[in-house]
Amino acid sequence: MRILVVGAGAIGGYFGGRLVEAGRDVTFLVRPKRAEQLAGGLSVRSPKGDIQVASPKLVTEATLREPGSMGQPYDLVLLSCKAFDLDRAMDSFAPAMGPTSMVLPLLNGMAHIEKLQKRFGNTAVLGGQCQISATLDPAGHVMHLNDWHLLGFGELDGSRSARIEAVGAAFAGAKFVPQLSASILQDMWEKWIFIATMAGITCLMRASLGDVGTAGGHGIALALFDECAAIAGKNLHVPNASVSENVRKVLTTPGSTLMASMLRDAENHNRTEHEHVLGDLLARAHGVRAPVLETCLVHMRAYEARRSREG
């Protein structure tokens, strides 16, 4: 199976690196600046074992568009871009798509699924979600920050197709946790409401979950989760009781240093995915009252307004 990983940032670099480590045929589609960084190799630092890929296979959008440069279309496109870069990312990997190519997106939320289906057709798009905390250091090394490294995937209709079995076979043996799911949409919703709660509360408070608790904010965090869970239920994806219980434990663990990547983006004065994670969730409330979620969204919109105003 020929795999194209769109982006070699924290997520794409980690899972793509693990697949290379397992001997899979992986190419990274990167921008010229990232290609320069990776000229010296792809480096992953992880509690699950470091990876050093001396010469990762790289292509750029310009290379893909050169006549005869690509060969056969890729079988699987593993998409790990930021939500606000989705349109540009789709343009970049469009030449790599063939009639049977699959796109496995690892973005949070749901809006990207609809965009990908509109661009490439319903049958081309798989469901996907990952559970990992990772970032890039200033030198461009992938830093895996916790013990989680699950990659969930499945057909959006829940079927056990031959092609999804082939994806599972390609992932088997790689040093992450592949999870072939017959209910990937439910999995994606459950992750979405967790990420929205994490991002909303840690960005609103500019602090880790443990710091929020120290300040007496556990009740606000739990109220936010309840709102997000109610919206999921309104969209026919009531979170599993065990998932809700685990999320509540994570949100209220004393001394937790967990914080959302959206907070790291805000602290670095970068653009955030607040509309995709918070805004789109609120847009799907369908009458559910969500004052804490709305406050978190307004907070992040104000951050972006100031960031834009100050250039």
pLDDT by residue for the chain (311 residues), tens digit each? Answer: 999 999 899 999 999 999 999 999 999 999 999 999 998 999 999 999 999 999 999 999 998 888 766 678 999 999 999 999 999 999 999 999 999 999 999 999 999 999 999 999 999 999 999 999 899 999 999 999 989 999 999 999 999 999 999 999 999 999 999 999 999 999 999 999 999 999 999 999 999 999 999 999 999 999 999 999 999 999 999 999 999 999 999 999 999 999 999 999 999 999 999 999 999 999 999 999 999 999 999 999 999 999 999 98
Residue ranges with strand state E in the chain? 2-6, 25-29, 42-45, 51-53, 57-59, 76-79, 102-105, 127-131, 134-136, 142-144, 150-154, 177-180
What length does the chain have?
Answer: 311
Q: What is the CATH topology of the domain spanning 187-310?
A: N-(1-d-carboxylethyl)-l-norvaline Dehydrogenase; domain 2 (1.10.1040)
CATH 3.40.50.720 placement within the chain = 2-182
Report the amino acid identity of residue 243: V
Residue 308 DSSP SS3: helix
Please list the active-site residues.
191
Contact partners, residue 303, CB within 8 Å, separation at least 6: 203, 266, 272, 274
* Cβ neighbourhood burial of 301 (10 Å; 0-12, 13-18, 19+): middle
Contact partners, residue 294, CB within 8 Å, separation at least 6: 282
297 close to 201: Cβ distance less than 8 angstroms:
no
The rounded distance, in Å, linking the Cα atoms of 65 and 78 is 19
Count the Cβ atoms, other than its own, within 10 Å of residue 45: 15
pLDDT of residue 67: 74
pLDDT of residue 311: 86
Structure-token pair, residue 147: 């013990």
CATH 1.10.1040.10 placement within the chain = 187-310
Report the amino acid identity of residue 93: F
The rounded distance, in Å, linking the Cα atoms of 70 and 181 is 31
Structure-token pair, residue 155: 């057909």
Scanning 172-237, the segments in alpha helix (DSSP H) are 184-205, 209-214, 218-234
The rounded distance, in Å, linking the Cα atoms of 113 and 122 is 9
Its pTM stands at: 0.94
- CATH architecture, range 2-182: 3-Layer(aba) Sandwich (3.40)
